[in-house]
A and B are shown apart, each in its own frame.
Chain A
């Protein structure tokens, strides 16, 4: 029952992600690669690359692609609904009922305490994503590209989309002879 798995996977990943779509990325990775095996590590990395090169919300782009890949157009709709609907409906209902919980220390504390868990999951995902290219283009090329990307994003404050496009160009022109 692929479509049931799509509902469960995307519902859980977004139910547990606090702070918008990006914080759900490691949770979606957990469902997409290790849990259900819809994509490989390499495919997931490619998807993130294109997802980050395109504008717009990231969680829905991931859900749309994986849903489509697993179960066609119906899968796309199912994965998108599982991602968007629960939290959207919850917000509308909550705002209809009351306005008083926004400054609640309970809610603030919960949002805060999720951060360390997301940080660790994101770091683990980073490590997984480093191992892939090390195997295909070697440690030195990987370190070289990573160092330049870090410098461009953090020091030059270059937009990540440009860094991704530059890496595509470098790979297409230079790395084609090594892969």
Chain B
């Protein structure tokens, strides 16, 4: 008889569950993943989870899949990581393809055309709110003047000069790497 290690079962259950209940993308399910990983299954301590999350946030790319991969790897190595990520993303990915294929198939229908037209302004509003929230993060971290300067600079480079977004991000990352050092130096100079 083949026995499956309980870690695999727990990983699959936890990641499947957190993959189908969270709305608003990966960041919104992090508290749910924390609950399963720390409280329910005690794979790691709350502090360990916090530290892992901090490092995961320092890397680019989707956050929920990074955490799923790490937890799976920590418990059961590469196989655990693969299982964990698949359990987390496959249900919603498949639902997406089935639903969109159905919509495309029915796209000649007036009802579906009306539904699509009705939802477009909602999506625009949601994107607008997200734009505002990103600007708010910049404001909180950089302060009133610097955040205004950097937002205007990004606007100039992206929308007016039309520099490729990748290049703009690399430029901003480059300055970001020395940002806190410059601030610290300035404060030192000011206090002397």
Q: What residues of chain A have their CB less than 8 Å away from a CB belonging to chain B?
A: 12, 14-27, 30, 42, 45-52, 54-61, 64-65, 68-69, 76, 80, 83-84, 86-92, 94-95, 99, 101-126, 129-130, 132-133, 136-137, 141-143, 145-146, 149-150, 153-154, 159-161, 163-164, 167-179
Contact = CB atoms under 8 A, between A and B. Distances in A.
B1 interface: no
A149 B84 CA distance: 35
B81 to A, nearest CB: 7
A65 B104 CA distance: 12
B88 interface: yes
Interface in B8-52: 19-27, 29, 51-52
B22 A50 contact: no
B25 A146 contact: no
Chain B interface SS verdict (over half): helix
Chain A interface SS verdict (over half): helix
Interface residues of B, number: 93
With most chain A CB atoms within 10 A of its CB, the pick from B54, B116, B178 is: B116
Contacts, number: 370
Contacts of B52: 95
A22 B130 contact: yes
B4 interface: no
Q: Which 10 A-B pairs have the closest CB atoms?
A: A171-B118, A87-B61, A56-B92, A113-B176, A88-B69, A64-B93, A176-B114, A105-B180, A122-B131, A109-B179
11 contacts: A22-B130, A24-B61, A48-B123, A65-B96, A84-B61, A94-B55, A95-B70, A109-B177, A111-B58, A112-B176, A146-B122
B55 A92 contact: no
Contacts of A50: 96, 99-100, 103
